[in-house]
Amino acid sequence: MRKILSTSIVAALLAGGAGVYIHEAAHRNDAEAAAAEQVDITGPGQILVRSTADGSMGHVALVDPKTGQRKVSGVSCNRVYAAAGTGICLRPDGPLSTYQIAILDRNLKERDAYPMVGVPNRARVSDDGRVVTWTAFVTGDSYNGGQFSTRVGVLDAESGDVLADTLETYALTRDGKPYQAADVNYWGVTVAKDDRTFYATMSTAGHRYLVQGDFTARTVRTLAENVECPSLSPDGTRIAFKQAVDGDPVKGWRPAVLDLATLHPTVLAETRSVDDQIAWLDDRTVMYALPRDSNRAGDHADVWRANADGSGSTSVLVADAESPAAIR
């Protein structure tokens, strides 16, 4: 079932060719699904990933991290995430660089699909599977240069209602004072267990902040600076994030964990630059993707793990994969 969101989310489809693109995409997905393994994303202890292996590049796969056993589905995504039997897949929708948000069921079958603006960047699902969020670049294609714009969307996957088609209209409080500016930009949403409270990155005037927001009240307030792409821990007490080196994204990012009670950050053992929305494997461990060749992002990558308390060393959790989600 294909639905249409508000004009601030929906891309302008070319009237003469949109039907052809949709037909071709559906036909391609059907052919892939026919040869795919059956996948159930409700089995705890597994990790859902986007495969970067030869022969299954871009396909969604389910991996047992203990045995390395991998089931590759027929679904292809640029970004994927899942929780409680609900998946979100950001994927191409035709040959002209248009994209689509697909809501998936426990077997990765499409429940709903929505055209989207921009290039897929981040995706998340709330712990109960009800709220799905995504971020897309609408201008620029990297956080590094500073010349970019993103668009956040938030959807109730059960009702199909849009909770937010942009966060720029929310009442923003910066450092305790009401704030408005033309350059306010949001990305990387993560949702709390109440499906109302959320955390995200907000940028303005050259600064990047962790913000806490409320979908019902339509409010946002800053909590800490130099916090990007937050990810709320399963116990709801900490935020995993990427921290720009010396506050300058051009120098890269280091993964860290922020205690929400004290706002004290702990830098993790990873010393390489991590440009990802870090995910939680469990309350003690985080995971993130790193390309094998730093000059060829988007090709082969691996999912790495690190201790959330900053101790120990890092190690590969899932080879030939990115966009991880722990199935609990």
Residue with more model confidence, 199 or 4: 199
Inform me whether the pLDDT recorded for 294 exceeds 90.
Answer: no
Inform me whether the pLDDT recorded for 29 exceeds 60.
Answer: no
- Across 35-39, 230-234, 242-246, least confident range: 35-39
The pLDDT of residue 9 is 41
Alpha-helical segments (H) within the chain: 18-34
Residue with more model confidence, 108 or 95: 108
pLDDT grade for 298, boundaries at 50, 70 and 90: low
The pLDDT of residue 36 is 65
| Radius of gyration for the chain, computed over Cα atoms and rounded to the nearest angstrom | 19
Tell me what the mean pLDDT of segment 282-305 comes to.
Answer: 86
> pLDDT tens for residues 45-99?
999 999 999 999 999 999 999 999 999 999 999 999 999 999 999 999 877 678 9
Inform me whether the pLDDT recorded for 128 exceeds 80.
Answer: yes
Tell me what the mean pLDDT of segment 35-49 comes to.
Answer: 89
Rounded CA-CA distance 217/210 in Å is: 18
pLDDT grade for 14, boundaries at 50, 70 and 90: very low
Rounded CA-CA distance 50/320 in Å is: 9
> pLDDT tens for residues 240-265?
999 999 999 999 999 999 999 999 99
Rounded CA-CA distance 100/119 in Å is: 10
The pLDDT of residue 97 is 77
Q: What are the strands, taking DSSP E only, across 146-247?
A: 149-156, 162-164, 171-174, 177-179, 185-191, 197-204, 207-214, 219-225, 228-232, 238-244
The pLDDT of residue 45 is 95
Provide CB contacts within 8 A for 199, sequence distance 6+.
189, 190, 192, 210, 211, 212, 213, 223, 230, 232, 239
Tell me the whole-structure pTM to 2 decimals: 0.88
pLDDT grade for 34, boundaries at 50, 70 and 90: very low
| Percent residues over pLDDT 90 in the chain | 75
Domains and CATH numbers, the chain: 18-326 (2.120.10.30)
Q: Tokens at residue 91, please? A: 């994927």
Inform me whether the pLDDT recorded for 230 exceeds 50.
Answer: yes
Identity of the residue numbered 205: A
Residue with more model confidence, 234 or 25: 234
> pLDDT tens for residues 15-27?
333 333 333 344 3
Provide CB contacts within 8 A for 300, sequence distance 6+.
52, 53, 291, 292, 293, 320
| Percent residues over pLDDT 70 in the chain | 85
The pLDDT of residue 138 is 87
Tell me what the mean pLDDT of segment 113-123 comes to.
Answer: 92
Inform me whether the pLDDT recorded for 190 exceeds 70.
Answer: yes
Identity of the residue numbered 104: L
Tell me what the mean pLDDT of segment 93-120 comes to.
Answer: 91
Inform me whether the pLDDT recorded for 4 exceeds 60.
Answer: no
Average model confidence (pLDDT) across the chain: 88
